[in-house]
Amino acid sequence: MQSPPIPSRPVADGDAGPPLPPTSSPADNGTTSHPNGTLQQLPHILIIGVRKGGTRALIEMLSLHSSVAAAQNEVHFFDWESHFQRGLPWYLSQMPYAFPDQLTVEKTPAYFTSSKVPKRIHQMNPDIKLLLILRDPTERVLSDYTQVFYNRLQKHKRYQPIESVLVKDGEINLGYKALNRSLYYVHMQNWLQYFPLESIHIVDGDELIRDPLPEMKKVERFLKLEPQINASNFYFNKTKGFYCLRDHGRERCLHDSKGRAHPHVAPAILQKLYQFFHEPNKKFFELVGQTFNWK
């Protein structure tokens, strides 16, 4: 269900109330406007991944900026055929109502690892700005498993112990999808066939958790946004063990499903994972001209 159309930022006292229903169908320029001056626009920015990399934290932190309007849900337009077949007018209808000077952002973490997505996005807008948030590949695999584990637990479904999905016949199980999602080098090669490196900003997901402000200042610069996000927007929640957000006096934290403890993994298996990712990580660093503090 689509939520009622409202501007993405709080409306100040004395401002116009909620917009009236659209007066026109989507225009050729990819917008649908409303009488109070807000409009739906195709995204100027896409957070393309990676799953369990910190995409929810990134879009929440980016939404602190008054020039950004964020889609509330993962739209899965470019990777789900059933959605893509509906065309750009449908995609536009999923965007938030924003003021003309705001940039619209949508995030779907599955975009990064879907081979058909880069071409489709390039066809929509070759000049779009792409944000990619990555974590240590081994940590990302463990987070991926943890999410599936809790989902199955809640549905009272059986789950496989982590060792049995990571290792098969004494070797790393190459058939485990979560491993493929952490082979950043493979997926990045596909994106660079369609977009120059200058169009893709890589956010260090491990650093964003540890100290969010420096990473968000880099994002502001990449998007050419007026510097706005500052230290007062973040406070460390000792109970949760990570940073929460403060926006116009309101405080909010990420959902409880974020930051869950990973299952214990035998040191020998962890070592196998670190070794498995060592070479792909090296190739990725060379590809993007950037290094990360991954094990």
- If pLDDT is split at 50, 70 and 90, which confidence band does 114 have? very high
Closest among 240, 266, 264 to 254, alpha carbons compared: 240
- In whole angstroms, give the CA distance from residue 73 to residue 36: 24
For the residues 213-225, what does the mean pLDDT come to? 98
The answer to whether residue 9 sits within a structural domain is: no
The answer to whether residue 60 sits within a structural domain is: yes
The answer to whether residue 270 sits within a structural domain is: no
The answer to whether residue 147 sits within a structural domain is: no
| Number of domains the chain contains | 1
Q: Is 175 annotated as a binding residue?
A: no
- Mean pLDDT (the chain, rounded): 88
Q: Is 262 annotated as a binding residue?
A: yes
- In whole angstroms, give the CA distance from residue 109 to residue 48: 5
Tens digit of each residue's pLDDT (9 = 90 or more) over 139-193: 999 999 998 887 777 777 888 889 999 999 999 999 999 999 999 999 999 999 9
The answer to whether residue 286 sits within a structural domain is: no
The answer to whether residue 175 sits within a structural domain is: no
Q: Is 249 annotated as a binding residue?
A: no
Catalytic amino acids? 52
Q: Is 258 annotated as a binding residue?
A: yes
Tokens 């406007």 map to which residue? Answer: 33
Tens digit of each residue's pLDDT (9 = 90 or more) over 31-55: 888 868 999 999 999 999 999 999 9
The answer to whether residue 106 sits within a structural domain is: yes
Q: Which domain holds residue 50?
A: 39-137+182-258
> Looking at residue 73, which CATH number applies to its domain?
3.40.50.300
Q: What percent of the chain has pLDDT over 70?
A: 88
DSSP state for residue 76 in the 8-state scheme: -
In sequence order, what are the beta bridge partners of 131? 47, 201
Tokens 């240590």 map to which residue? Answer: 136
Q: Is 9 annotated as a binding residue?
A: no
Closest among 285, 146, 48, 212 to 293, alpha carbons compared: 285
Which amino acid appears at position 43 of this protein? P
In sequence order, what are the beta bridge partners of 234? 245
The answer to whether residue 246 sits within a structural domain is: yes
Q: Supply the pLDDT for residue 23.
A: 33
Burial classification of residue 205, based on how many CB atoms lie within 10 Å of its CB (0-12 exposed, 13-18 middle, 19 or more buried): buried
Q: Supply the pLDDT for residue 218.
A: 98
Q: Is 114 annotated as a binding residue?
A: no
Tens digit of each residue's pLDDT (9 = 90 or more) over 70-106: 999 999 999 999 999 999 999 999 999 999 999 999 9
Three-state SS at 214: helix
